[in-house]
Amino acid sequence: MVIKLNDSNFEEEVLKTDKTVLVDLFATWCGPCEIMSPLIDELAEENLPNVKVGKLDIDESGEIAIKYGVMSIPTFLVFKNGQVVRSFVGVTDIDEIKQAVLNA
């Protein structure tokens, strides 16, 4: 299940969890984001052990995007223990993202 992230739940769902978290930073008007969205949804449905998958609309929660230096979308951030351990920008091989999450 994909978690809808925003300013009010980001700290609890991403920074304070003991799980690895994949965050998809996107915008509804972004073509490459639309390409990646169903792949991220499929990854979330795999219910990987100790992994959360969330999506954050940068138009609704722009401060988070600024905090993490997001300059292009889609951007995918892998968090472990509240820290970014890996990032991807643009249309990316979903298997590469999955391996990064599993190996975090």
The catalytically annotated residue of 21, 23, 30, 65 is: 30
Q: What is the SS3 assignment for 40?
A: helix
Instruction: Give the whole-angstrom CA distance, residue 22 versus residue 58.
Output: 15
Active site residue 14: no
Catalytic choice (14, 25, 33, 64): 33
> Which two structure tokens, joined as six digits, stand for 40?
């991220």
CA distances from 8 to 16, 18, 26, 53, 63 (A): 13, 19, 17, 17, 12
- Both structure tokens of 10: 């980001």
| Catalytic residue flag (residue 21) | no
Q: Which residues contact 15 (CB under 8 A, 6 or more apart)?
A: 79, 82
- For the annotated catalytic residues, the residue numbers are 30, 33
